[in-house]
Amino acid sequence: MKPSNRILSGVQPSGDLHLGNYLGALKNFVSLQKEYECFFCVVDLHAITVWQDPKQLANQTREVTAAFIAAGIDPKKNILFAQSQVPQHAQLAWIFNCVTRMGWLNRMTQFKDKAGKDKENVSVGLFSYPTLMAADILIYLATHVPVGEDQKQHLELTRDIAQKFNNDFETNLFPIPKPLIFGEATRVMSLRDGTTKMSKSDASHYSRIMLNDSPDQIVQKIKKAKTDPFPLPANLTEAKQRPEAFNLLSILAALKDQSTSEVVQLYAGKEFSIFKKELADLIVDKIEPIEKEIKKLLNDQAYLDSIMTDGKNKAMAEADSVIEKVYSVIGFLKA
């Protein structure tokens, strides 16, 4: 029987996680684990679309697993695993490369942003990244995918791939998965520029709060966060026209589980210095326990590896039954 409420979501082990990953992904995963059957994946195959130091990658993979658990994901109830340990993701991705049209991938804005002017020199993997993402989701017949706003276009592509595969092979094997984009901070912006996304690969450390920043670093980064010379906006309409102010207000709203509009009202007309102090204190309150727990978990590598082995075995059992069906539908000999 097909699952009706299954989630797949992934995080790349391409560096330490930041507040955008926490508010746009991890925090939401924690609330969804109550209602959904969840597969949470450390997407290391995605990470190598850009260079990763082989000496660091295994530790970074453990760090993301530790961050999942430290943020509140129950490793007994949910399936936590590393993508490269379940080879069916790559098998299905190849098949999807043959279903996906070049024109579809050419429209992906994340590729354009990441490749920039160096399009001829980036990896083919960076270009075909969304077909692997579709495979990650559909190899588990996932029905819902919680993501930040930045991944919305890739998820629409996943839906197109599922639809085309089903049509081409006259099957209803794949569900058409729905995005779950919620919370007040679906797109956390850089602290240095309210118009660009907070991201691991931004050259400036002051652009992001890392989950392993010390309280002092957090206070310093918020103090230096770019703002404009005016007091805090009087209402939501004004806030939306001031990107840096809006970003900080929505971060506070997300952390307090309040609406941005309520938070705007609370601070309307106040000075940034007062607001920033309260925001920094709140971030420290939320991040410090997570940071401590990540450190503790990383000291117990055997435990983290046992979680991932258990997750891999469960994930592989599911993935294997789906790839078998895919092979049969396509006309391949049994895998």
Which residues are known to be catalytic? 114, 197, 200
Single-letter amino acid code for the residue at 237: T
Tokens of 208: 């992001």
* CB 145, min distance to ligand AQP, A: 9
* CB 312, min distance to ligand AQP, A: 19
Q: Please, how many CA atoms are within 13 Å of residue 260, restricted to the half-sphere of its CB?
A: 21
Q: Which of residues 249-288 bind ligand AQP (CB under 6 A)?
A: none
Work out which of 20, 177, 194, 311 binds ligand AQP, going by CB under 6 A.
20
| Residue 102 per-residue DSSP state | H
Decide whether 164 or 187 has the Cβ nearer to ligand AQP: 187
Phi, psi of 23 (to 5 degrees): -75, -35
Angle, nearest 10°, between helix axes 272-298 and 243-256? Answer: 50
Which range of residues in 18-26, 74-82, 89-97, 308-316 is near ligand AQP by CB under 6 A? 18-26
Decide whether 187 or 314 has the Cβ nearer to ligand AQP: 187
Decide whether 202 or 320 has the Cβ nearer to ligand AQP: 202
Decide whether 190 or 227 has the Cβ nearer to ligand AQP: 190
> What span, in angstroms and rounded, lies between the C-alpha atoms of 209 and 67?
15
3-state class (DSSP) for residue 274: helix
Q: Rule CB under 6 A: is residue 188 a binding residue for ligand AQP? A: yes
Q: Rule CB under 6 A: is residue 158 a binding residue for ligand AQP? A: no
What is the H or E stretch that residue 5 is in? none
Residues 30/62, Cβ–Cβ less than 8 Å: no
Decide whether 134 or 326 has the Cβ nearer to ligand AQP: 134
Q: Rule CB under 6 A: is residue 21 a binding residue for ligand AQP? A: yes
> What span, in angstroms and rounded, lies between the C-alpha atoms of 31 and 144?
14
Which range of residues in 77-85, 184-192, 268-276, 286-294 is near ligand AQP by CB under 6 A? 184-192
> What span, in angstroms and rounded, lies between the C-alpha atoms of 256 and 285?
11
Chain position whose Cβ is nearest to ligand AQP = 24
Tell me, by CB under 6 A, how many residues bind ligand AQP.
20
Where b means 16+ CB within 10 Å and e means fewer, 291-311 reads bebbeebbeeeeebeebbeeb
Single-letter amino acid code for the residue at 113: D
Tokens of 95: 């098949």
Tokens of 72: 């509140």
Work out which of 150, 213, 291, 318 binds ligand AQP, going by CB under 6 A.
150
* CB 46, min distance to ligand AQP, A: 7
> What span, in angstroms and rounded, lies between the C-alpha atoms of 212 and 290?
8
Q: Rule CB under 6 A: is residue 227 a binding residue for ligand AQP? A: no
Work out which of 89, 197, 221, 286 binds ligand AQP, going by CB under 6 A.
197
| 256 class by beta-carbon count within 10 Å (0-12 exposed, 13-18 middle, 19+ buried) | middle
Q: Which of residues 89-148 bind ligand AQP (CB under 6 A)?
A: 147-148
Q: Rule CB under 6 A: is residue 314 a binding residue for ligand AQP? A: no
Residues forming the site for ligand AQP (CB under 6 A): 11-12, 14, 20-21, 23-25, 147-148, 150-151, 186-188, 197-201
